[in-house]
Amino acid sequence: MNKIYKNADEAVADIKDGAVLMLGGFGLCGIPENCIAALVKSGPKNLTCISNNAGVDDFGIGLLLQQKQLKKMIASYVGENAEFERQLLSGELEVELIPQGTLATRCMASGYGMPAIYTPAGVGTEVAVGKESRIFNDKEYLLEYAFDADFAIVKAWRGDADGNLVYKDTARNFNPLMAMAGKITIAEVEELVPSGEIDPNQVHTPGIYVHRIFQGKNYEKRIEQLTLTK
What pLDDT shows up at residue 52?
Answer: 93
- The answer to whether position 108 is within a domain reads yes
- The answer to whether position 83 is within a domain reads yes
The model's pLDDT over 18-77, given as tens digits with 9 standing for 90+, comes to 999 999 999 899 999 999 999 999 999 999 999 999 888 889 999 999 999 999 999 998
Burial 118-156 (b: 16+ CB within 10 A, else e): ebebbeeeebeeeeeeeeeeeeebbebebbebbbbbbbb
Using alpha carbons, select from 22, 51, 25 the residue that is nearest to residue 171: 25
> Do residues 175 and 24 make contact, with C-beta atoms less than 8 angstroms apart?
yes
pTM: 0.93
> Do residues 42 and 183 make contact, with C-beta atoms less than 8 angstroms apart?
no
- The answer to whether position 54 is within a domain reads yes
Q: Residue 12: which domain range?
A: 8-118+148-215
- The answer to whether position 14 is within a domain reads yes
3-state class (DSSP) for residue 179? helix
- The answer to whether position 3 is within a domain reads no
Quote the number of domains for the chain: 1
CATH, residue 28: 3.40.1080.10
Residue 79 has pLDDT above 80, yes or no: no
Determine the average pLDDT of the residues in 79-88: 87
